[in-house]
Amino acid sequence: MARKNRVAVIGASGRMGKAIIQVLSQSKVSELSAAVVGKGSVYLGLDSGLHSGLKQNEILFSDDLSKSISESDTVIDFSIREVLSDVLAVCKEFKKPVVVGTTGLVETHKELLKETSKSIPIVYSPNMSIGVNLLFKLTEIAAKVMGDLADIEIQDIHHRHKKDAPSGTAEKLKAILLETLSRTESNIVHGRHGILPERDPKEIAIHTLRAGEVIGDHTVYFFTPEERVEISHKAQDRKTFAVGSVKAAEFLIGREKGLYDMFSVLGL
C-alpha cells in the first residue's frame, strides 16, 4: 500500500483547522502529520485529534513551523494573514507545496503568493468549497449572458465573529463581475444610505451581514425589468471548506511550481 500524503495544518486549533483534521482522518490519500498553532497558544502540547472531536491521534499541537513543514509532504494554511509570509518562507525553504485558505489577504499578500509560486506550487483561493467555486463559474456565465441587461447585487452573510468585510468570497465574486463586464472599482457600491440618485446601470452593490453563527451564505442577483436570476450558495457545515482544502492538497502532489486556484483543482 502506497504511503499517504503527509499534511501539515497551520492554524490547526481553529474552526477550519479542526474541520481539516476531521477530513484528513477519513482520507484514503492523505493523513495529518503536524498540527501547528501560534506561539504561546493555550493549545500547545494538547492532542489534536481529541481537540477535533476524534480519538487520540498522538499528533500534539506545536508552534515549531520549520520542523512541522520540513517533515510533511504538503501544507494547508488556515491561520492568520500576519503569519503568511513566515509560512511561505518556510515552505519555499523546504520546497513544500502549500494550500492557502487564509482570508482577509490584501494586495501585498497576493503579490507575495505570486512571487513564491515561482519556486513552489501553491493553491490559493478565497473559498475552498467545491460548491462556492461552482458559484464563481455560474456567476461568470450569467454575467456574460445577462450582465449588460441587468442590475447586479451581491449579498454576503457570515457569522458575527468574522473580521473581514466583505468576505474574500464576495471580493472574488466582485472581481469576476468586473473582469467579465469590463467594469472598474468605480462601479462598486458598498451598501446604501440616505437620499441617492437613480441607480447607475453599471453599478454593482455589495451588502455585508455579520450575525449569529452563519457559516457562509452568498448570493448574486441579476435583476431585469422582466425577471430576476439568483445564484446562491449556502454552507451548511464548515467541513465543505475542509473537503476542498484536502482535495487541493492532493492536487498539488507532484505538481509543477506555479500559482493555482480551485478552478484548476476542480477542472473548471
The per-residue pLDDT for 103 is: 82
How far is the C-alpha of 139 from the C-alpha of 231, rounded, in Å? 7
Cβ-proximal residues to 266 (8 Å cutoff; 6+ apart), any chain: 130, 133, 134, 247
Does the annotation list 14 as a binding residue?
Answer: yes
How far is the C-alpha of 27 from the C-alpha of 255, rounded, in Å? 20
Does the annotation list 57 as a binding residue?
Answer: no
Parallel, antiparallel, or unpaired: how do β-strands 204-210 and 228-234 relate?
unpaired
The per-residue pLDDT for 76 is: 98
Cβ-proximal residues to 223 (8 Å cutoff; 6+ apart), any chain: 150, 151, 152, 153
Instruction: Say yes or no: do domains 5-128+238-266 and 130-234 share a fold.
Output: no
Q: Catalytic site residue 162?
A: yes
Does the annotation list 11 as a binding residue?
Answer: yes
Q: Catalytic site residue 158?
A: yes
Mean pLDDT of 231-242: 92
CATH homologous superfamily of 130-234 equals Dihydrodipicolinate Reductase; domain 2 (3.30.360.10)
Backbone angles phi, psi at 92, to 5 degrees: -65, -45
The per-residue pLDDT for 143 is: 98
Does the annotation list 186 as a binding residue?
Answer: no
Residue linked to cell 518556510: 90
The per-residue pLDDT for 1 is: 62
pTM of the model: 0.83
Mean pLDDT of 82-92: 97
Mean pLDDT of 101-118: 93
For CA atoms 16, 21, 23, 27, give the dihedral sign: positive
pLDDT level of residue 225 (50, 70, 90 thresholds): very high
Backbone angles phi, psi at 250, to 5 degrees: -75, -30
Q: Which fold has domain 5-128+238-266?
A: Rossmann fold (3.40.50)
Mean pLDDT of 2-28: 95
The per-residue pLDDT for 126 is: 83
Does the annotation list 169 as a binding residue?
Answer: yes
- The rounded mean pLDDT for the chain is 95
Of the residues 18, 51, 96, 158, which is catalytic?
A: 158
Does the annotation list 183 as a binding residue?
Answer: no
Domain residue extents for the chain: 5-128+238-266, 130-234
Mean pLDDT of 196-222: 96
pLDDT level of residue 57 (50, 70, 90 thresholds): very high
Of the residues 162, 202, 207, 239, which is catalytic?
A: 162
